Structure 1
Amino acid sequence: MRTTYVSLLALFMVMMASAQDKKQQDIDAIKSMCGCYEVTFNFTETFNYSNDSLYKPSDTKVDHALEWAQLVTDEDDKIQIQHLLQVGNPAKPMIIKHWRQDWLFENQELYTYHADNKWNYEEKDENEVAGQWTQKVFQVDDSPRYEGSATWVHVDGKSYWENTTPAPLARREYTTRSDYNVLLRGNRQEITDYGWLHDQDNHKIIREEGQEDVLLAKEKGYNTYVKVDDSRCSAAAEWWKEHSEKWELVRAKWNQVYNRDGDLTLENKVDNKTLYKFLFDESITTQTQIDPIIESFVKK
């Protein structure tokens, strides 16, 4: 009897050690996305299913940028990475706050995009997310964008994470398209020998209450992040040092909103201005200024 107990205990210890090794592999993969990258954004519409003979697909887009991915939070179960674009004259570049990605281990609370600027709050069972990481992606103003939970896979020399989740229209689309209102994003983030790859298979969806979703078109995204020396992004790194306190206050207010644990609907504009235009104002720096601005965009 004692032998059986010792054997089970030994097996349990091996399993625990293996789980910890796996989690560390996950953490290493996520954090390897930090640093300075030459990015190529590639998007093209592949198939359309419209009944409209005059339907015009989106133009193929290929853009290039230098991007700094700054590690903001480095905890055992939470990693935050802020992306910054560095554009213009290399001698005196312009820095643009870009998207943010948070990674949470075995996270049970998600805001899943529904449509028309509404996110539905959902709570997953702990068994559903065992060993998984939630990737939460945020807009330039730290408002929600999309999120999903999945397992990092490390096999045959590859490390990747993939998930399909609904999202608002991409920035390249929402100013020019109004014939669909949900982008169902098939996201694969893979660590490569040159840096990392964001591979996407997206569906453009028409979603209306009480009706089945309608597939309008499919889109391929293939964004390569090629690692370059960090010194090339030194201007972006310095910009973040100067502005990080302000954006910590912005995240703190958003955390208050998310912690209400209920469905979330946001205004597109307040006083005919989008949220990022308020928050990108250099004169807005304090919590007493930031909090009411964000709150004004949250529909009661």
Structure 2
Amino acid sequence: MKTFFTLLSLLFLHSLSSQTKFEEDRQAIKAMCGCYEVQFNFSETFQHTKDSLYTPSPNKISGGLEWVQLVEDKPEKIAMQHLLIVGLKEQQQIVKHWRQDWLYQNQDIFVYDGDNHWEYVELPYDEVIGQWTQKVYQVDDSPRYEGSASWAHVDGKHYWEDTAPAPLPRREFSIRDDYNVTLRTNRHELTDFGWVHDQDNKKILKTEEGNEVVLAEEKGYNTYTKVDDNKCKAAQDWWSKHNDYWAGVREEWQSIFDNKEDIFMEKSIDDKPLFMHMFELQDQAYDDQKIKKQIKTFLK
């Protein structure tokens, strides 16, 4: 009998510990919301190609204000939209930036395979127990990269880290055509000033036969310093105005993801990538059929 009650006590403590960890994970994710002064820093570190004509990308340093809007808050799903604020206070402009969704013990991911192709993969349940999938979307809410890992809360540190293949970032695809996959190691860590998005990236040329050649490595270090939310009021007002439109865009993409099939996309139509078409629609009268039609024209 004593052994039985000891076992019950151990199971209860394990359940309590797991629940506490789950809530701690959720708090860490939601702590990334709010208004931040951001600085983006990227620099190539190691060169692996033996091509003597290879030219490293220039260092990229930029920044501004960024509002991270909580879009969805469910026990096992948290969605956040990043909105970048650029320009002087009197002439501020809002740029819809990336979006990150966090799903608990999620099994469905889309793995980037190069050349605008995302492969659907179902992860085994026993591999995702206790983990959170971070799904990162492009500025038009099309897929970008996804990965699953556990949040760590140890020695006063709170962080999540995973490695996943991704398309070229926008700062690169307009100036580089010698590689087609970025293998990103992403680390999101809370700090006393806000949070950090720490990256160690590999620039990879993936051939049609599936061979991979690493050309170079890149360090990214993006800092988010918390400031008063009122500094991001312009972004909050912009989101209130455009929220319904982008909710419709997310809904259409979700219907595509729910098919659990590989996704192949056109790079551009009429010499314009998808995000330019979607940004044009956002200021027109809301029409879900136009949204569906525009997205489907980019699907092969």
Q: Same fold (TM over 0.5)?
A: yes
When residues 145 and 284 of structure 1 are mapped into structure 2, their CA distance, relative to the original with a 3 A threshold, is farther
Q: CA deviation at 1:284?
A: 5.7
Q: Which amino acid aligns with 1:295?
A: K
Q: Deviations over 1:7-60 (max 9, x none)?
A: 211111110110000011100000000000010000000111122212110001
Give the letter aligned to residue 125 of structure 2: E
What secondary structure is seen at the aligned counterpart in 2 of 1:241?
Answer: helix
Query: How many Å separate the matches in 2 of 1:284 and 1:126?
Result: 43
Separation in 2, partners of 1:50, 1:248: 43
State the AA in 2 paired with 1:104.
L
The structural deviation recorded for 1:211 is 4.2
Supply the distance in 1 between the matched residues of 2:271 and 2:205 (Cα, whole angstroms).
Answer: 26
SS at match of 2:37: strand
Partner of 1:21: 20
Question: 1:77 maps to what in 2?
Answer: 76
Match in the other structure for 2:231: 232
Q: Structure 1: which 5+ residue stretches go unaligned?
A: none
Structure 2 stretches lacking a partner, 5+ long:
none
Counterpart residue identity of residue 8, structure 2: L
Q: State the secondary structure of the residue aligned to 2:252.
A: helix
The equivalences for 1:1-300 within 5 A come to 2-281=1-280, 282-283=283-284, 285-299=286-300
Normalised TM-score (structure 2): 0.98
Once residues 208 and 20 of structure 2 are traced to their aligned partners in structure 1, the CA distance between those partners, rounded to angstroms, is: 45
Deviating more after overlay: 237-246 vs 90-99: 90-99
Distance (Å, rounded) in 1 between the aligned partners of 2:59 and 2:138: 23
Amino acid in the other structure paired with 1:124: L
The RMSD of aligned alpha carbons is: 0.9
Shift of 1:216: 0.3
% same residue: 53
Query: Which amino acid is the alignment partner of residue 109 of structure 1?
Result: D
Give 1:5 shift: 2.0
Amino acid corresponding to residue 42 of structure 2 in structure 1: F
Q: Is the 8 A contact 1:116 1:181 kept in 2?
A: yes
The amino acid of 2:177's aligned partner reads: S
**If the length of structure 1 is used for normalisation, what is the TM-score?**
0.98
Letter in 1 for 2:287: T
Aligned counterparts of 1:36 and 1:286: Cα–Cα separation in 2: 31
Q: Distance in 2 between matches of 1:272 and 1:212?
A: 30
